[in-house]
Amino acid sequence: MTINKAKLQDLESIIAIEQQVFNTDSYPAFVLRQLFDISGDYFIVAKEDDKILGYALGGLNTQKKQGWILSLGVHPDARGKGLGKQLTQRLIEVLKAENTKEIALTVYPDNTSAIKIYKDLGFEGNEVLDNYFFDNEDRIVMKKMN
């Protein structure tokens, strides 16, 4: 298994996983394409034998020196083997290298496997913010100081 910067030819498979795992909450394809265009090293993909198993997408707020984990998805067949954690760890390293002071993310309060990964990697915060995405759903914002 390798984790590398995503290439344009990876994007359709990444979009398919994003739509499969997030359903109606997924980023539309055109948004992912445009995020790909501006994402530099912080759009990464995990592959085995040329098959895409998962991806992680970061973002940067350069004025606040803040990095964001915007999306993380692992194909259902590839879960439970540490891939989500490895992708998150690698994305943290890439965002740290961009001179960020902290890294932030949002997560559903009931997303136990994702929250476990984030806590294991040093993210803190359990304040539940209602209607964060104007969808009448709760989210937790977690942060990790670099």
User: Which chain residues interact with ligand COA by CB under 6 A?
Assistant: 21, 72-74, 79-85, 107, 111-114, 116-117
| Beta strands across the sheet bearing 128-130 | 2-5, 43-48, 51-61, 66-74, 102-107, 138-145, 128-130
Nearest approach in angstroms of CB 142 to ligand COA is 9
Nearest approach in angstroms of CB 2 to ligand COA is 15
**CB closest to ligand COA, residue no:** 84
- Rounded to whole angstroms, how far apart are CA atoms 53 and 62? 30
Residue 66 CA from chain centroid, whole number: 15
Q: Is 99 helix (H, G, I), strand (E, B) or coil?
A: coil
Nearest approach in angstroms of CB 18 to ligand COA is 9
Q: Is 7 helix (H, G, I), strand (E, B) or coil?
A: coil
Comparing CB distances to ligand COA, the nearer of 22 and 99 is: 22
Nearest approach in angstroms of CB 46 to ligand COA is 9
Residue listed under structure tokens 């350069």: 62
Comparing CB distances to ligand COA, the nearer of 74 and 95 is: 74
Comparing CB distances to ligand COA, the nearer of 111 and 126 is: 111
- Rounded to whole angstroms, how far apart are CA atoms 112 and 110? 6
